[in-house]
Amino acid sequence: MFSFRVLEKYRRGVPILWKRRITQAVAGKLDIGGVYPPIATPFTEKEDIDYEKLDENIDKYSKIPFKGLVVQGSNGEYPYLTAEERLEVVRRVRQVLPKSMLLMAGSGCESTRATVQMTERMAHNGADAVLVVTPCFYRGRMTSQALIHHYTKVADASPVPVVLYSVPANTGLELPVDAIIRLSQHPNIVGLKDSGGDITRIGLIIHKTKLEDFKVLAGSAGFLMPAYSVGAVGGVCALANVLGKEVCELERLCLLGHWEKARELQHRLIEPNTAVTRKYGVAGLKQAMEWFGFHGGATRSPLQPLSVTELEQLRTDFSSNSWL
């Protein structure tokens, strides 16, 4: 599953700058394997984007062995940004981020035409790949057929590779397996970020797409190790905004087959991960970022800051696992 060369990188300490070049040489399609933080968008107290703090975060992330960054995943509060803000964030991140790191930008909108347009613009602003969330408002009519139509139109038009994105906790919709299998055959669709956490489904998707050049990324650090065990190649993990080195260490242990050490580390990451995702969401993530030396900043309304009780519980979820 894991090529000699990738393992070698970790064994010999190959400089991180090489990573992308190596993996691109291996396959025709872009290799998306690795860990990505889906970065938060720091806001000022007045809820404007704080680009300076964003730059500082990117600078720090550049020193962690991430494969790249995801801009405007669910944790980026992208539904709260204007189209102009979405594009400007991509442009700024690309300027600060080293060329060796992949910039995957969330370009999903509700309509197909808006998604196509956003995809083209984000690629123009420097995105190396786009992450396209399932449209969901009319979820009762988002059949496999409708979703295949949507993603095909987007992938046909996109100047950069497309990664599918299924995040039922936010969309109330899971991209169906049959649609994924079909879409995996598209030459410009390179993989899937699956945030649902159904490991049986993830295993099945990997099994049914193994003849294609199609990879699966875990959408959360909570199940990163079991996802590797069934054949995922990395993860887009909110927790990597906070404990980035540790999530990359978990990746390394999995790639090297050090399963017992991986298990111990995985266990200690579950509660902090749940705290910054399902339990307290973006406000929890941003608070934890502050504790670990990153800029979280305010959330944009209607998202509210944590209550005192929630803050205490968030702290406990990190401290009881010896991270604080």
Q: Which residues fall in the annotated binding site for pyruvate?
A: 236
311 lines the binding site for a second copy (CB under 8 A): no
Tokens (6 digits) for 97: 């981020």
140 lines the binding site for a second copy (CB under 8 A): yes
295-298 contacts at long range (C-beta below 8 A, 24 or more positions apart): 295/42, 295/50, 295/53, 295/54, 295/56, 295/57, 296/40, 296/42, 297/40, 297/42, 297/43, 297/44, 297/50, 297/53, 298/42, 298/43, 298/44, 298/45, 298/47
Show the site string, 4-33: x = touches a second copy by CB under 8 A, - = not. Answer: ------------------------------
- Pick out residues in 251-270 that bind a second copy (CB under 8 A): 257, 259-260, 263, 266-268, 270
Q: Among candidates 245, 219, 243, 242, which has minimal Cα distance to 232?
A: 219
- The DSSP bridge partners found for residue 165 are 133, 193
* Amino acid at residue number 253: L
- Pick out residues in 48-87 that bind a second copy (CB under 8 A): 74, 79-82
Return the half-sphere exposure (C-beta side, CA atoms, 13 A cut-off) of residue 236: 34
DSSP 8-state assignment for residue 39:
E
Closest approach, Cβ 273 to a second copy, in A, equals 8
Nearer to a second copy, 259 or 292 (CB): 259
138 lines the binding site for a second copy (CB under 8 A): yes
Of positions 30, 163, 282, 289, contacts a second copy by CB under 8 A? 282
204 lines the binding site for a second copy (CB under 8 A): yes
- Max intra-chain CA distance, the chain: 51
Nearer to a second copy, 16 or 270 (CB): 270
Q: Among candidates 267, 272, 268, which has minimal Cα distance to 316?
A: 272
User: What is d(CA 260, CA 264) in angstroms, rounded to the nearest whole number?
Assistant: 6
44 lines the binding site for a second copy (CB under 8 A): no
Burial of 257 (0-12, 13-18, 19+ CB in 10 A): exposed
Closest approach, Cβ 291 to a second copy, in A, equals 20
Nearer to a second copy, 93 or 225 (CB): 225
Of positions 10, 170, 295, 323, contacts a second copy by CB under 8 A? 170
Closest approach, Cβ 305 to a second copy, in A, equals 10
User: What is d(CA 153, CA 248) in angstroms, rounded to the nearest whole number?
Assistant: 34
Closest approach, Cβ 101 to a second copy, in A, equals 27
Burial of 16 (0-12, 13-18, 19+ CB in 10 A): middle
Tokens (6 digits) for 135: 């449209």
Nearer to a second copy, 12 or 141 (CB): 141
Of positions 60, 91, 153, 295, contacts a second copy by CB under 8 A? 153
Task: Map residue 43 onto helix, strand or coil.
Answer: strand
Catalytic residues: 165, 193
Of positions 93, 131, 206, 314, contacts a second copy by CB under 8 A? 206
> Is the distance from CB of 89 to CB of 106 less than 8 angstroms?
no
- Pick out residues in 210-229 that bind a second copy (CB under 8 A): 210, 220, 222-223, 225-227, 229
How many residues touch a second copy (CB under 8 A)?
68
Q: Interface residues with a second copy (CB under 8 A)?
A: 1, 47, 74, 79-82, 110-114, 135, 137-143, 145-147, 149-150, 153, 169-170, 172, 197-200, 203-204, 206-207, 210, 220, 222-223, 225-227, 229-231, 257, 259-260, 263, 266-268, 270-271, 273-274, 278, 280-283, 300-304
